[in-house]
Chains A and B, each alone.
Chain A
Amino acid sequence: MSWRDYDCLNIPLKSSVQMKNKYSITSDILSFQLCRRQYGFFGVRGYQPAHVVQYWYGTILHQVLDKLHMHYQGLLDESTVERIPTDEEVEIYFNAVDDSLRARGIRAINSSLRKTAINVLKIFNALEGPKLYPNVIDTECDLQSDQGNYILHGVVDLLKEISMAKYTKDYDKVEIWDYKGTKFPDLSIKYGQEKLDRYVFQMLVYAELYKLKNGKYPLKGKLYFMNELFGNSNANETPPEAVYVVEFRDRDINEKINSALNLFSNTVTEIESNLKYDRWDPPEQQPDKETCDICDLRWNCSALTKKYPMRYP
């Protein structure tokens, strides 16, 4: 007996089913737009960065803000329900989060950054807390949508109810918030404008994701630049640079959102064509300095016009 015993068989190859990939607006789309090579190495091929930059600041802001909301809702301790945290309480929450981050090796680069973070949080709490906390609908909302060949994914920092707004049949009385642990971008330089454009793009995609889940668009998107609060002389008023509002109740909203979605899906197409051959060549144009400065591939990258000098231990 041999293979001839099986001559009656002719077994076709089963075509493999391509599974849909999930693309997140920040960690995939925006990262890829910044630099496809960096994205390919650190987002796809599993390379680990040598230094986790800015991680502490963003994390502590988000986590303490979360605690402040929970404090107001009485979720951490029932007795604090409907009470705005005091400065001392902000500090207690801050220290608890900082301790836990430190135990994991995530810490402020220096003590002044730590002071900045505490101050920013205290100012935010006093300034925005009374209006914000009672109206928080949800925090860190995971939104997803099936776009046919891929799944679109985003996490909205916060949903706030605008109770005073008039009822409209096309919009939910809701604001979507995104906290940025930075100052408002400097629009006098090209990169600053690009940065703001990316943030707006992000909000437009969130608005669409929100609508797909809830049936209507939210009224507004708010980008909150937390570092504008620091050094603010008038503690009773939100500095104008701290908040950038994206109005979704806008005649051209459909057009704007469509173009954001097109950008999203074009980027996905680009990512997938790179994925297919697993090729992540350096971009033709050099990315902005901020992107390259933190990149571990910078010691030898053909996208650079000026090389980084090799460092020795």
Chain B
Amino acid sequence: MDINELIGIVKNIQGYDLDSQQEKVVKHGKGPLWVVAGPGSGKTEVLVLRTLKLVFVDNLLPSSIIITTFTEKAANNLFERILNYTNLIFKEYPELESKIDVHGLKIGTLHSLCNDIMLENKNQAYENYKLLDELEQYLFIFEHSDLANERSSKYCPLFEKFEYLFSGFDPVTNTFRWNKERLPNKWRRTNASIKLFNRMVENLIDLEKLKDAEEPYDLVICAYNDYVTKLEEHRRCDFAHLQKKFLEFLDTPLGLRFLNGDGTETHPGVKYVLVDEYQDTNPIQEEIYLKLSKGTHNLCVVGDDDQALYRFRGGTVDCMVTFKQACVNTFGIKPDDVTVIFLNTNYRSHPDIVYYYDDYIKSFPSMRLEGARVEYKPPLDPKGKISGDYPSVAYITGKTINETAENFAIFVEDLIKNEIIEKPSQCALLMRSVRESARNAGPFAEALRNRGISVYNPRSKNFLEHEETAGILGAFISIIDPDLSALESVGPPNIKNMVHFWINEYKEIADKYPDLSNYVNKSVESISKIPLDNWIKVNILDIFYHILAHEPFNEWRDDVEKTYRLGQLSKIFETYASVPYPGFPGSDRGELRTGKTEDGTISFGWRKTFYYALIGLLVSAGLDDPEIEILTPPDHLPIMTVHQSKGLEFPFVFVYGLKQKPRLDDSILLEDAFLNFRKKPPLVNFTPEERAEQDLIRFYYVAYSRAQYALIHLVPKVHLSSGFFGFIGKKIIDFKEKAKELGA
């Protein structure tokens, strides 16, 4: 098939032509390709078509092509689209069907591909490793890492240097600052260790360079090496080290066979690499992509530097901004050998919205600094189907946040009542934190619900407060710590309060369901008869499932919402059970044992650790509901973080939170602390303050560019003052000129 045939087929299916820039991307031949794609410019479609071109026109074996996306959902979506086109192509060219197997394409997140490729190629250094998710990594570090557990003042210089990671409110002392007598608490040290260790790997820190650095970097190496040793001892691997292992794998004989192929169809080698959302790539990922394409130079990256959101995962926009230079340095080619294509036509939003966010991002001096954006970026060019003379950029206000929320809910209700939209899911409320507290999503969710509009807010962090989760935890604790003696020994009041809340929930339920309380009481009695220092014949998940077998849980496990939370809780129990005891690889914390000194109770140490490690984490971090739906249920209005909204679009987008100031958060400070120790020195240099400001500006840019028909700010009157970053050029005058006020 030739390229024009392919493009013709696509046109027949879609009913429209590719624009000239899109066509260039699809047609591009060999060599690095840098696609700078603005919001709503059809970049996913272009990636799909470019893949089809490689398979059907260039006749490459699908299994020699790697495509990475940012989420599994996006990967599934991409593959689905490729598959649909492929089926239509087969209808016209049936002879191709037995020759081409697009299922061979390697599509996924970089993490999932690293994992799958190493398993598929039997990388011995990755055999039988347990991949730790966030919760598992937390629990592992909490129990095992020296940095979280050392009781002497050994790490004080490190705490001092990384003060922003280790200071913070301590509910026991009621203070923010640690001191030598009272070191930072274990939860804080655990969280800090996660950030520190992940960052060191993600930013490709050179341990040799760290060795030569002044104090306390020697302590950093010491803490990090201790962590890695323990990971290996227990055959655990976190997501950051998964990538490190993959990079190392590529240098082994099996890795080289994967990379270069061996002439068979089973091992065709890697011929093309395509990367979506490249703006959120971190240095170790950049290194992986460059290494995968070092032999071919066939690396195509697609992204928008203005939409970078993931510095806290080690992402640096710099990878996107400096792609050309990175290719020049790594491949030893000339700058002109890197093809740059700008996809700047916007098909998503009303033209006024497009002009608004295009003006917005350019209105800040910090975005005009060299290296802040991809150079020579053209302005966005709106060519979508949406038009009309109505206030497409507007704001709703009120005296307070509550009044603003009320006016917003009335407005949404009117939109539905007057058939401007069909369903609440055609709106989205975007904000920084969707916790349903008074200063965040609380008033908005309440105002909507008061008007009968359901809200979809899976990240509201109140997972542990539902009757089924609280009830089952209460029942479980009533069995393992019936007199709450271990709980009483726990310091932080927030743990105690939460556990008491669960116990009360359980008691209320148990009053109505005697079978349940009977089971709990008999279990307590049964444990009380077990002699000292003996194994108990059921593990913690067994207890969980026995509770679940009783009403009302038995009925709840078939309730559409409750059952997913209960399932999630079983996963948390399983995770906790799988954390080995320090020094005992393969041990299973889910097995229970009676105490050595006290009759008829579960080991005091076990109970105490359960509260400190697991409950402490659940309570301090807050847990999200499992996200069941791939899409928002149509009768619900989604309240989401800007991060959740990445890649999505909605007819009406409401954004709350213009009164933000850039914060020097730990991800920025940490990046700065390790800047000079990277294996490859960064190609762009900004101060932490500049990076913080740029990040905040990009954050709103992503929010604004989700809107199709209308972008509506929610701004309480008290926030309507100059100097904050949600406004064009920080100026309220410009803002009021561009955005129209909506009355109730």
Contacts and interface: CB of A to CB of B under 8 A. Distances in A.
Contacts of B234: 103-104
Given A13-B634, A47-B570, A105-B580, A5 B742 contact: yes
A3 B415 contact: yes
A97 B570 CA distance: 29
A312 B522 contact: yes
B545 A297 contact: yes
Contacts of B80: 17, 19-20
Contacts of A75: 122, 253-254
B743 A2 contact: yes
A49 B282 CA distance: 36
Interface in A127-178: 137-138, 140, 142, 144-146, 151
Interface residues of A, number: 61
Contacts of A234: none
A140 B120 contact: yes
B586 A46 contact: no
Interface in B57-114: 76-77, 80, 83, 86-87, 98, 101, 103
A20 B549 contact: no
B420 A3 contact: yes
A48 B574 contact: yes
Nearest to B391: A5
Contacts of B254: 75
A142 to B, nearest CB: 8
Given A12-B422, A46-B626, A313-B526, A97 B743 contact: no
Nearest to A3: B414
A299 B411 contact: no
Given A50-B541, A145-B103, A296-B541, A313 B388 contact: no
A103 B585 contact: yes
Interface in A255-302: 278-280, 296-297, 299-300
A47 B742 contact: no
B567 A102 contact: no
A218 to B, nearest CB: 15
B567 A46 contact: yes
Contacts of A104: 128-130, 234-235, 586
A97 B128 CA distance: 8
Given A41-B567, A103-B585, A6 B519 contact: no
Interface stretch (B40-48, B145-153, B531-539, B674-682): B531-539
A311 B568 contact: no
Contact of B523 (A12, A107, A215, A313): A313
B607 interface: no
A16 B127 contact: no
A10 interface: yes
B193 to A, nearest CB: 22
A3 B411 contact: yes
Contacts of B574: 48
The number of chain B residues touching the other chain, given as a range, is 35 or more
Interface string A1-33: 111011111111100110110000000000000
Main secondary structure of the interface of B (DSSP, over half): mixed
Contacts of B564: 45-46
B519 A16 contact: no
A102 B557 CA distance: 34
Contact of A70 (B122, B388, B519, B549): B122
A161 to B, nearest CB: 13
Contact of B83 (A78, A146, A300): A146
Nearest to B86: A146
Contacts of A49: 541
B122 A311 contact: no
A207 to B, nearest CB: 15
Contacts of B527: 313
A284 B505 CA distance: 35
B127 A97 contact: yes
A64 to B, nearest CB: 11
A101 interface: yes
B538 A105 contact: no
Interface in B163-221: none
Contacts of B98: 212, 215
A50 B538 CA distance: 9
Given A75-B254, A278-B560, A297-B545, A1 B743 contact: yes
A1 B742 contact: yes
Contacts of B266: 137-138
A2 B411 contact: yes
B375 to A, nearest CB: 36
A82 interface: no
Contacts of B120: 140, 142
Nearest to A76: B124
A87 interface: no
B233 interface: yes
A100 B83 contact: no
B573 interface: yes
A63 interface: yes
B588 interface: yes
B541 A7 contact: no
B77 A313 contact: no
B743 A311 contact: no
B645 to A, nearest CB: 16
Interface string A91-109: 0000001001111111100
Contact of B426 (A13, A100, A300): A13
Nearest to B568: A46
A313 B546 CA distance: 10
Residue in B76, B103, B592 with the greatest tally of chain A CB atoms within 10 Å: B103
A213 interface: yes
B552 interface: no
Contacts of A142: 120
Residue in A6, A10, A13, A297 with the greatest tally of chain B CB atoms within 10 Å: A6
Nearest to B632: A16
A310 interface: yes
A75 to B, nearest CB: 7
A10 B419 contact: yes
B526 A312 contact: yes
Interface string A39-81: 0010001111111000000000001001000100001101000
B423 interface: yes
Contact of A16 (B101, B567, B631): B631
Interface in B574-588: 574, 578, 580, 585-588
B440 to A, nearest CB: 25
B14 interface: no
B420 A6 contact: yes
Contacts of B7: none
A248 to B, nearest CB: 17
A50 B545 contact: yes
Nearest to B416: A3
Nearest to A107: B586
Contacts of A46: 564, 567-568, 570-571, 626
B542 interface: yes
A174 to B, nearest CB: 13
B89 to A, nearest CB: 12
B291 interface: no
Interface of B: 76-77, 80, 83, 86-87, 98, 101, 103, 120, 122, 124, 127-130, 233-235, 253-254, 266, 388-391, 394, 411, 414-415, 418-423, 425-426, 479, 519, 522-523, 525-527, 530, 536-539, 541-546, 548-550, 554, 557-558, 560, 563-564, 566-568, 570-571, 573-574, 578, 580, 585-588, 592, 626, 630-631, 634, 651, 709-710, 740-744
Given A6-B709, A16-B634, 18 more contacts: A5-B740, A7-B420, A9-B709, A10-B419, A46-B570, A46-B626, A47-B566, A47-B571, A48-B541, A70-B122, A102-B586, A103-B233, A107-B586, A299-B549, A310-B549, A312-B519, A313-B543, A313-B592
15 contacts: A1-B740, A1-B742, A13-B423, A13-B426, A50-B539, A75-B253, A100-B235, A146-B87, A151-B103, A278-B560, A278-B563, A300-B549, A311-B538, A312-B526, A313-B537
- In the A-B complex, the 5 residue pairs with the closest CB atoms: A50-B541, A299-B549, A300-B549, A3-B414, A312-B526
